[in-house]
Amino acid sequence: MARLCPAAPLLLLGTLLGTGAPLMPGSPLPPGPVLLLGSLLLPGRPALAGDHVPALLWSSARSQWNPEPALHEGHIVSAQELAVLLQPVFSPRPRNLVLFLQETLSIDDFTYYSESYGNKNPFQNVQEILQSSPSSLVLPAVDSKATRHLLSFLQESGDWNLTNMTNLDISHLEANTSKPNLLVVQLQPLISGLSEISTLEAMAENDKIIGRLTMDLEERGIHFSAIYTAVRPSRISRRTETTWNLRRQLMATEEEDSLPYAPVNVTIGNNTCILFYAGNFSLKANNSVFIDLTNATFVIPNVDISSSKCSDINTTLSLKYTKPVNGINSLEIRFIMTNKFYGGSARNWSTLDSVEIVQDEEKIARFNVSVISAPAEYSFHCQLVGTSSLYPARLIPSNNEARNWDVFISRFQLQGFNVENNQFSYASDCTGFFSPGIWMGLVTSTILLWILAYGVHMIMQLTANSRFDDPKGPALSVPQTE
């Protein structure tokens, strides 16, 4: 388990404040942010490895948070404590709250990525905002169960005009001042299964979104408070002794309280026939227009599923969205599944045959699907599904229109047949029998064994002479026939 060196808390503080160097003990803190470093106050203690995420808060109003209450070392902010800390955002001014919600984030990300890539600082805008805001607060460790239900808590705590921000257009805020505004910005996911460069680019892009929206609000003179947090931690594997084994397995659905939102369910009559869940559901059109459908599908459902079809043989999940972004009036996503009997396994298998994206009821993009199948009694689960060749389950363009779309789905789970009790059945996972490391070990071992076998064979072929020369006797004569 990793341990913090004595300068680690001060180094983290310097990183968040943008100083780029650790603050020496006794030196005054820069003005501006009010920091709670409860989990990092004492050196020499193990770093937290629990299920917690950081939460960054800032506001255009002064003295929003009182720095006097201090948290003890190792403390994780609970849901009740977070509710108390969030009370200032419900004050009459400011009347607007922005929630930047990311799928994964940990406090280690701030130091790891800021230090590992030199001048590429993926949190530059966040650091500048924390320095320049009249009041701000950094909570290094908040119980992720609290952040998963943060949006629901905010909705229940005030009479908000709820808006899912997809195109970062805030022109409507000035016109609507009768009720406070709650803006939800679902940031791009961090693809932990791929290279760290891809993760760094995703973080930098999210940082730009936060900076651009914050700057627009300030330029318009709109008073606001903002929260930047995540649903679950991103770097647990760096702080625990957990060994991640890639293997094909049948695994149960996660417990209900571990899911940030309920899955989409299609019910015909009294029977639920389709269940669909994703941690992040995003599209990109023409390599420029980013469309995040996570909020509209799961968090605050604003999707039409009435065109979905169910039968014992063919099932279609239809998700229709109205004006998901500027320039697109309607968008429909279709997941087309079949249930067939295969004699080789003597059982029925459900297969996701294709995915279709219909834009404005005219342009149809079709994708063939690889590796998405499961026994008909089970659901299918995969950590990453999309158009990238690096994903375990791929969507392969089958027409020219499909080449204009990029699809990203994380924590994908789908069941189109034999749904019981409105819950997912056991899940057949997309992970293969052998990981790349196992294949490398097997190939290397085979080559070494072949070399060893060849060497032993050559040694066994060596023979000794049947006769030897005697230097004191006559010369040995060996006939040609022998």
**Beta-bridge mates of residue 114:** none
Residue 216: pLDDT band (50, 70, 90) is: confident
Instruction: Identify the H or E element spanning 21.
Output: none
Q: Is the pLDDT of residue 333 over 80?
A: yes
Question: Rounded to whole angstroms, how far apart are CA atoms 136 and 64?
Answer: 8
Question: Rounded to whole angstroms, how far apart are CA atoms 396 and 386?
Answer: 9
For residue 9, the model assigns a pLDDT of 40
Span 113-128, average pLDDT: 75
The dihedral over CA atoms of 68, 70, 76, 79, expressed in degrees to the nearest 10, equals: -30
Residue 71, token pair as written in the block? 């948290």
For 257-291, the pLDDT digits (tens) are 455 678 998 988 888 899 999 988 888 888 878 88
Average pLDDT, the chain: 76
Q: Is the pLDDT of residue 355 over 90?
A: yes
Residue 481, token pair as written in the block? 């026939």
Percent of the chain past pLDDT 90, that is, above it, reads 16
Top-confidence residue, 148 or 449: 449
Top-confidence residue, 470 or 109: 109
Question: Rounded to whole angstroms, how far apart are CA atoms 374 and 264?
Answer: 19
3-state SS record for 94-138:
CCEEEEEEEEECCHHHHHHHHHHCCCCCCCHHHHHHHHHCCEEEE
For residue 444, the model assigns a pLDDT of 95
Span 296-309, average pLDDT: 87
For 399-443, the pLDDT digits (tens) are 999 998 999 998 899 999 988 888 898 888 887 666 778 889 999
Sheet order of strands, 52-59 included: 34-35, 135-143, 52-59, 225-232, 96-104, 181-186, 161-164
